[in-house]
Amino acid sequence: MSAIYLVRHGQASFGADDYDQLSERGYAQATALGQSWEASAFLPAHAVAGSMKRHAQTAIAALDAAGPSDGYDVDGGWDEFPHESVVEAYAPGFVSEDPKEFQRIFVSAVGRWAGGEHDDEYLEPYAHFTARVLGAFDRLADSLGSGESAVVFTSGGPLAVVAAHLLAGDAPEWTPQAHALWPRLNTVTINAGVTTVVTGSSGRTLLSFNEHTHLPPDLVTYR
């Protein structure tokens, strides 16, 4: 049996000119994760990160804190969907530094995007996004030998895609059941939280979702 640990990136820089950078708290979250791995003598055989800066920064901080490693590979299949374009298509010109107000608009904007009725308005349609993420997941799962482990540094959206897909039964394609589950999971992913998948002769199973006991209460964030 093999294991895949899906890690959401540390807190990014909400409200800054460049969102795609870890905040000071984001670095602390990633370091806390790596320190928990060091304390348990855990070091993955493989590490993969999406191509975004917050993915790389989380990977480097966590792996450095965990101990000597061989670094990580990059697979853009694990990138987040282009949320800025999703919000812009729903609410043109919308800008807010209030996380609660942004979350309200964001949930509605994502619902419109995932509905699939306005695909021509988006940089990446929802169906393309889910297929891209599941392709990256399949590539990684198929590459692991028996007993091997891998860590993926990604974002909440891709992580929720994998979790929804497995909870819906790990069908070959994205299903209506997975589609219904995805937004519920996407809105509650925790920064530097870990979701665990096991793979073996009986298939692939979601073992845990959003595990974050390595984070002290003041480092638990959702955005």
- Average the pLDDT over 34-59 and give the result: 94
Question: What separation in angstroms does the CA of 64 have from each of 31, 146, 211?
Answer: 8, 26, 21
Whole-number percent of the chain with pLDDT over 90: 75
- Give the pLDDT confidence score for residue 86 in this predicted structure: 93
Over residues 61-73, mean pLDDT: 91
Q: What percentage of the chain reaches a pLDDT higher than 70?
A: 99
For the stretch 74-113, pLDDT in tens is 999 999 999 889 999 988 888 777 778 888 898 999 999 9
Q: Is 194 left (phi over 0), alpha (psi -120 to 50) or beta?
A: beta
Return the half-sphere exposure (C-beta side, CA atoms, 13 A cut-off) of residue 194.
23
Delineate the domains of the chain, giving CATH numbers in brackets: 2-79+128-219 (3.40.50.1240), 82-123 (no CATH)
CA 151, CA 165: separation in Å to the nearest integer?
A: 18
Question: What pLDDT was estimated at residue 24?
Answer: 94
Query: How large is the average pLDDT for residues 209-218?
Result: 96
Higher pLDDT pick, 97 / 142:
142
For 152-209, how does the pLDDT look when each residue is reduced to its tens digit (9 = 90+)? 999 999 999 999 999 999 888 899 999 999 999 999 999 999 999 999 888 899 999 9
- Res 16: pLDDT: 65
Asked whether the whole model's pTM tops 0.95, one would answer no
- Please state, rounded to an integer, the average pLDDT across all residues of the chain: 93
Closest by CA position to 220, among listed 183, 188, 184: 188
**In this predicted structure, what is the pLDDT of residue 68?**
83
17, pLDDT greater than 80: no
Residue 217 reports pLDDT greater than 70 = yes
